[in-house]
């Protein structure tokens, strides 16, 4: 089922390394208020039509005529809700990110009780579980953006800071426990780990790697990261 949210306007923040608020940043592209005024059922019908279209054809080859036909709305009505298909695309991505955040929350609430390696393993597990649970949403977020450099740049600018901030908090907590190597640049290291975890997850899903082999790859990568950043 699609998740239709109100306008996102918060970012992930923290107090003393605890994740207090975690949600999507103020959007680069947003639906118009008229979209949020629609009944939930009609919003979900538009979202499902867009998800089907983007996941099958990608952003560049998607067609607004097919989306409005499946939504059973007039094409003119669409522009009362969104300025263009990019607004619609990023609205769906916002829903994807919100769902992923909800999946991560139980892990983030207890991260201080885990080792650095366990936290990394949970990040992998949650990411893979999310990708497996809804292939269309996964394809929307990864395949469409990565085939369009300009779209990918907007995607990174909007969503990457939230992912990197998670790893910053994990590294800062490890630093407080005096587990990090001396001279580690935490923001740079967090960005590197985030990219590495994200790209590995994409490769594991795209290549349909079996669960047992996935675990081997993840264990090897976590070992590499531990040796690089921990004493």
**Domain contains 11:** no
178 within a domain of the structure (yes/no): yes
- Is residue 1 included in any domain, yes or no? no
With a cut of 60, say whether residue 120 has pLDDT above it. Answer: yes
Q: pTM here?
A: 0.74
CB 27 within 8 A of CB 8: yes
Q: Kindly report, residue by residue over 131-155, the tens digit of the pLDDT.
A: 777 777 777 766 666 677 888 788 7
pLDDT of residue 124: 81
Q: Is residue 5 part of a domain?
A: no
Question: Is 36:6 a contact under the CB 8 Å cutoff?
Answer: yes
- Domain of 43 in residue numbering reads as 17-229
Residue 201 located in a structural domain: yes
| Cβ atoms of 186 and 230 closer than 8 Å | no
What per-residue confidence (pLDDT) applies to 141? Answer: 65
Does residue 1 surpass a pLDDT of 60? no
Tokens of 57: 């054809």
Q: Is 12 part of a structural domain of the chain?
A: no
Burial 50-74 (b: 16+ CB within 10 A, else e): bbbbbbeebbeebebeebbeebebe
**CATH number for the domain including 67?**
1.10.357.10
> Structural domain tally of the chain?
1
Closest CA to 91 of 35, 157, 131, 22: 35
Q: Is the pLDDT of residue 5 over 70?
A: no
Q: Which residue has the tokens 């979202």?
A: 47
For range 117-125, the mean pLDDT: 83
- Provide CB contacts within 8 A for 33, sequence distance 6+: none
SS3 181: coil
Report d(CA 121, CA 157) in Å as an integer. 25
Mean pLDDT across the chain:
80
Going by pLDDT thresholds of 50, 70 and 90, the confidence category of residue 122 is confident
For residues 2 and 55, the answer to whether their CB atoms sit within 8 Å is: no
Sign of the CA dihedral 33, 78, 133, 138?
Answer: negative
For residue 42, tell me if it sits in a domain. yes
Percent of the chain past pLDDT 90, that is, above it, reads 23
Q: Which of 15 and 231 is assigned the larger pLDDT?
A: 231
The answer as to whether 7 is a domain residue is: no
pLDDT tens, 178-219? 888 989 999 999 999 988 888 888 778 777 788 888 888 888
């Amino acid at each position: 089922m699609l998740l239709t949210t109100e306008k996102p306007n918060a970012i992930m923040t923290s107090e003393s390394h605890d994740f207090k608020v975690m949600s999507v940043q103020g959007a680069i592209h947003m639906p118009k208020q008229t979209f949020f005024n629609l009944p939930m059922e009609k919003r979900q019908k538009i979202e499902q039509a867009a998800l089907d279209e983007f996941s099958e054809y990608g952003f560049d080859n998607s067609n607004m005529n097919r989306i409005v036909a499946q939504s059973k709305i007039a094409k003119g009505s669409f522009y009362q809700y969104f300025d263009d298909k990019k607004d619609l695309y990023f609205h769906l991505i916002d829903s994807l990110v919100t769902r992923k955040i909800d999946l991560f929350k139980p892990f983030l609430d207890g991260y201080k009780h885990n080792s650095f390696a366990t936290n990394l393993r949970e990040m992998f597990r949650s990411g893979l579980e999310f990708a497996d649970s809804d292939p269309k949403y996964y394809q929307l977020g990864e395949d469409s953006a990565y085939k369009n450099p300009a779209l990918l740049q907007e995607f990174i600018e909007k969503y990457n800071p939230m992912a990197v901030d998670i790893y910053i908090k994990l590294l800062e907590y490890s630093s407080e426990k005096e587990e990090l190597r001396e001279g580690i640049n935490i923001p740079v290291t967090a960005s590197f780990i985030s990219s590495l975890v994200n790209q590995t997850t994409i490769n594991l899903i795209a290549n349909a790697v079996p669960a047992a082999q996935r675990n081997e790859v993840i264990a090897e990568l976590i070992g590499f990261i531990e040796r690089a950043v921990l004493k």
